[in-house]
Chain A
Amino acid sequence: MAALLPLIILCPLAVAVILLLSRGTMPARATCGLVGVGMGLCALFGVIEAVTFLNGPDSTGALHVVLWHWIHVGGFDTSFALTLDRLSLVMMLVVSCIGFLILVYACSYMRDDPDIARFFVYMNLFVASMLLLVLSSDMIAVYFGWEGVGVCSYLLIGFWYHETPNANAARKAFVVTRIGDALFLVALLLLATGVGSLDFNAVIQAAPHAPHAAITLATLLLLGGAVAKSAQLPLQTWLPDAMAGPTPVSALIHAATMVTAGVYLIARLHAVFLLTPGVMLLCAVIGFVTILFAAGSALVQTDIKRVLAYSTMSQLGYMYMALGCGAWQGAMFHLVTHAFFKALLFMAAGSIILRVHHEQDIFKMGGLRQEMPGVFWAFIAGSAALAGLPLITAGYFSKEMILTSAYNVAPLFWLGGILGAFLTSIYIFRCVFITFWGEARTHAHGRTGIVQAVPLAILGVLAIIGGWMEVPDSLGSVHIFSNLLSPVLGELPEEHGGAVLLLIGSIVPLIGVSLAWMLWKPTGRAPEALDQPLVRVLRADWGFDALYDVVFVRPYLALGRLNRNDFIDRLYDLLASVTQFFGRAFGLMQTGQVRRYAAWIAVGTVLALCLAV
């Protein structure tokens, strides 16, 4: 079914183009219909493609579709080619299906926005480029998708253009990720000149024979690109601000898909990364630090979306730690489950925000349990999965998978992971308790429409049962997911001490939840966001924002202002005025007095005589 592969990308693209050409004249209802149909087809094709591929002749191999040659100069040759193997299949399913759900949800979320057409143009463009990113077999095409999702995220963060903060957040997001993109680009140059092609297989085959330094540099640069895209330390500052965009955007881009692109890229090139253990260690460390960093910051946020943003950061930290430990399956598995429950959480939060007059401060909410039971249960499901409550949630299994392999690499990583899990359960349930328990501090109006409820329900279910496709040996081993990916990512390594770790990993979240209950259980008075300096620093991204602002942004802009009209120009002006000066000085010879003139003639002659003799 090679023919379907391009169609999967073309569907959202076509929708985007149609909406673009309609120039916003299309009524909202028609727009939603079009989007629904387009993304529905996209998801449908995705599923069909997946089924046919897995039942196909070489379901362990890859399906190649070469579209056209991009550049063919001298020895360098790149082409637009799509490839479908089990890895990209997983990603493709996540993007298309969850994308479908989120866009359906968005139809009702953005119902009243006059610019809904523009919104869906961006969204569909995003889905298209994300699909290009995950499906293409050539790194240059990946880069196309990579930058495409970046610019779409910029456009969507700044979607409500009339508020300057949004514009700033959007610019920040793009510029910070652009740093990573530049690193990625340099990596591409390195590989292109070294290998002569940017095809994944070619690169992977050429890597072992290449000089080790070059490979290290390449992986380092790729890691940098991935880190920026996934908002890991030290390039994490953009993600919390990115919450300025509409909530579906946060759900789709900044939770489910775009931020995980880096994980996908590294997993895709794991063979190359295996050659450079140093870089992998660095990757693990980055993940390790980010887990704790983001969890700590999430602990004190007051804005519900920022809580989720930081939790996304720390969950991605888990994935990077897994990648660093070589647990490719674990990373991918967590990616999938995280896509389920984080999208769920965001959409639930979106429904809340929608119904409380775009209020996002959890301390201004409360007692929403009765007001919106459906949303409440959805949020509970998501939180449980995020906190990784044992056995009944998807998050539990994926996290355990990572922790086990982390333990096998270095117990320290495992410890960090456990600590992170502890914090996670605390902050997310802090959010739950404050938001849904206690007396109502705000009035929710309207009711969550069916169009929002259905995606919530589906994702809620997935968030609960989604984990059972990969159950560790200790409790009746199911290995559907890892078996699915093993042709691409290699066999699962043998694990030790599984049971004990599982036990600890199951208890810790429960402790966390109960602790959260003790701290924020509904009392007579409204809970207050505590406001100590330390807390304020934590809340403000551990002061990273301020640091970067002082160290990079301000000096750059200030010096630019200082030199705004270009000192080089001044130099030329100086030259001009000097010439003018000489002209005047020379004009002074013209005193108008004959005697002086005669004197000059005499001087000239005498000088000439001296010159001659």
Chain B
Amino acid sequence: MNPGDPIAAIAIASILFVIGLLGVMVRRNLLFMLISVEIMLNAAALAFIAAGARWHAADGQVMFLMIIAYAAAEAAVGLAIVLRMHAAGRGTLDADTGNRLKG
């Protein structure tokens, strides 16, 4: 795969993205949901890398770093919230059961 042609990389990124999205949609475990979100973010990061490669510019890498940072932060907050809910008395990690907020 020649670096000039990012389409293949974009294709991979898209596949990753869709996998992540499907993961959010099918998994019921909160943690897996968060992981799927991470996958989507990383797909985006990969796409940036590919794009940066196309233009021979550093912007792509910059965005990559920022996305990593953001992903980390979000994971941290997410886990904190999960723990908090556990402490507040929600025993399960199943996102479908025990929803109190609905239309």
Contact = CB atoms under 8 A, between A and B. Distances in A.
Given A598-B21, A602-B21, A592 B99 contact: yes
Contacts of A589: 103
Contacts of B101: 592
A590 interface: yes
A592 B25 CA distance: 14
Contacts of A592: 99-103
Nearest to B22: A602
A286 B68 CA distance: 105
A530 interface: no
A588 interface: yes
B89 to A, nearest CB: 18
A595 B37 CA distance: 12
B101 to A, nearest CB: 6
Interface in B82-103: 95-96, 99-103
Interface residues of A, number: 12
B73 interface: no
B26 interface: yes
A592 B102 CA distance: 4
Interface string B29-41: 0000100000000
Nearest to B36: A598
B103 A595 contact: no
Contact of A598 (B25, B99, B100, B103): B25
Question: Looking at chain B's contact residues, is the secondary structure mostly helix, strand, loop, or mixed?
Answer: loop
Interface in B23-56: 24-28, 33
Interface string A565-603: 000000000000000000000011111111100110010
B33 A594 contact: yes
Nearest to A593: B96
Contacts of A599: 25
A586 B78 CA distance: 30
Contacts of B28: 595
Contacts of A587: 103
A595 B24 contact: yes
B102 to A, nearest CB: 3
A368 to B, nearest CB: 90
Contacts of A595: 24-28, 33, 95-96
Contacts of B102: 590-592
Contacts of A602: 21, 25
Interface string A52-94: 0000000000000000000000000000000000000000000
Nearest to B18: A602
A591 to B, nearest CB: 6
A593 B96 CA distance: 5
A594 B23 CA distance: 12
Contacts of B24: 594-595, 598
B50 to A, nearest CB: 20
Interface string B1-34: 0000000000000000000010011111000010
A586 to B, nearest CB: 9
A587 to B, nearest CB: 4
Q: Tell which of A591, A593, A598, A602 has the most Cβ of chain B within 10 Å.
A: A598
Interface in B58-90: none
A599 B26 CA distance: 9
Contacts of B99: 591-593
Contacts of B33: 594-595
A593 B21 CA distance: 15
A413 B28 CA distance: 103
B28 to A, nearest CB: 7
B13 to A, nearest CB: 16
6 contacts: A589-B103, A592-B99, A592-B103, A595-B26, A599-B25, A602-B25
Given A592-B103, A595-B28, A598-B25, 14 more contacts: A589-B103, A590-B103, A591-B102, A592-B99, A593-B95, A593-B96, A594-B24, A594-B33, A595-B25, A595-B95, A595-B96, A599-B25, A602-B21, A602-B25
Interface of A: 587-595, 598-599, 602
Interface of B: 21, 24-28, 33, 95-96, 99-103
